[in-house]
Amino acid sequence: MQDALTTLNWLVEAGADEVIGDAPVNRLQAKAPTIPMPAKQAAPVFTPAPGKVPAAPQSDTVGDAQALAATATSLADLKTAIENFEGCALKRTATNTVFADGTPTGRVMFIGEAPGRDEDRMGKPFVGRAGQLLDKMLASIGLDRTRNVYITNVINWRPPDNRDPTPEEAAQCLPFLRRHIELANPQVIVLLGAVAGRHVMGISDGIMKSRGRWMEYRVGDRMVPIMPTLHPAYMLRQPAHKKLAWRDLQSVAARMESLGLPELFSQGN
C-alpha cells in the first residue's frame, strides 16, 4: 500500500495527474496482434446534409483575442473577457481560468509563465510550492501580495502536464496580458523565468544571460522598467541559484526606492 502511495506521489509530482480512463492500462504487457479492419467496417465519413455545411473554422484566434482584450476598460472587464475567450485550446483541459492575484494598485507587477496544478485547482496564480517561495522572495524586499504587489502569468490556463506553452498558445494569450499591464499600470515589472522573458520581451538569450538586466516596456506613452529574473520553480530545483535571484531582487528594491514606492506603501496607497 505504502509503495502504491509513493508511486502515486511521484507520478503526481512528475505532472502525471490527469485520469484518462477508468481502467488502468498495463503498457508493459505484450500487445495483442492488430487485426486489420475489413474494408466494409471502415470508419464512417461525415457528410453534411445539404444546406448544413459547417462554418469554416475560425482561425484568427489571435485577432479575436486582440479585439476582445481591447474592449476591456477595467480589470474586472478583462477577467470576464478572458473567461469568455474560446480561442485557446488550453482552456478545454484546464479546470479554471487563472487571472491574477494580489493588489492591482500596488504598482509592482510580477509576471510568471502559466498556472500549474495547484493554480489550476484554485484559479489563482502562484499558490503552490513555487508560489510559497515567491512569497518569501517578495517579503525579503518588503512586498506582500495582500498589500502592494500584483501577480499574473503570460498564460491563463494550465498547459497539460505543465509543458511549456506553444508559441501559438502564447500568441493567443498575449493580447490579454498586454491589456492587463495597461490596465494595472505598474511602475515596475518583474518577469519570472525564461518563458515570460521570451513572450513579453522577445528575449531569446537564456535566462542566465538576461536575468538582472533592466529593460523598458512601453505602456501607452510611458516606458516602464522591466527586469527578468529566475523563476521560483527553477530555484526549488537549483537552490544554489537563489543568491542570483536575491541580487536581482535587491536591484528591484533599489528601483522601487528611486521611484518613491516604499513611501507610497507606508502611506497605505
Q: Per rule CB under 6 A, is residue 102 in the interface with ligand URA?
A: no
Non-local CB neighbours of 30 within 8 Å, separated by 6+ positions: none
Select the residue interacting with ligand URA from 72, 114, 141, 189 (CB under 6 A). 114
Asked if 252 contacts 140 with a C-beta cutoff of 8 angstroms, the reply is no
Q: Is 130 in the site for ligand URA (CB under 6 A)?
A: yes
Q: Least distance (Å) from ligand URA to the CB of residue 87?
A: 21
Contact window for ligand URA (CB under 6 A) among 4-12, 15-23, 36-44, 119-127: 119-127
The answer to whether the Cα torsion of 171, 176, 180, 182 is positive or negative is positive
User: How many secondary structure helices (H) and strands (E) does the chain include?
Assistant: 12, 6
Indicate whether 137 belongs to the interface with ligand URA (CB under 6 A): no
Q: Is 248 in the site for ligand URA (CB under 6 A)?
A: no
Residues 11 and 18 sit within 8 Å (Cβ to Cβ):
no
Nearest to 199 by CA among 123, 93, 112: 112
Q: CB of 217: closest distance to ligand URA in angstroms?
A: 18
Applying CB under 6 A, among 153, 187, 210, 251 the residue interacting with ligand URA is 153
169 interacts with ligand URA by CB under 6 A: no
- Residue nearest ligand URA, Cβ-based: 112
Q: Contact letters (x/-) for ligand URA, 181-210, by CB under 6 A?
A: ------------------------------
In order of 62, 114, 174, 245, 256, the CA distances from 94 in angstroms are 19, 11, 18, 30, 36
Cβ-based nearer residue to ligand URA, 145 or 261: 145
DSSP 80-129: HHHHH----THHHH-SS---EEE-GGGSEEEEES---HHHHHHTSSS-SH
Rule CB under 6 A: is residue 112 a binding residue for ligand URA? Answer: yes
> Which residues are near ligand URA by CB under 6 A?
112-116, 119, 125-126, 130-131, 153, 233
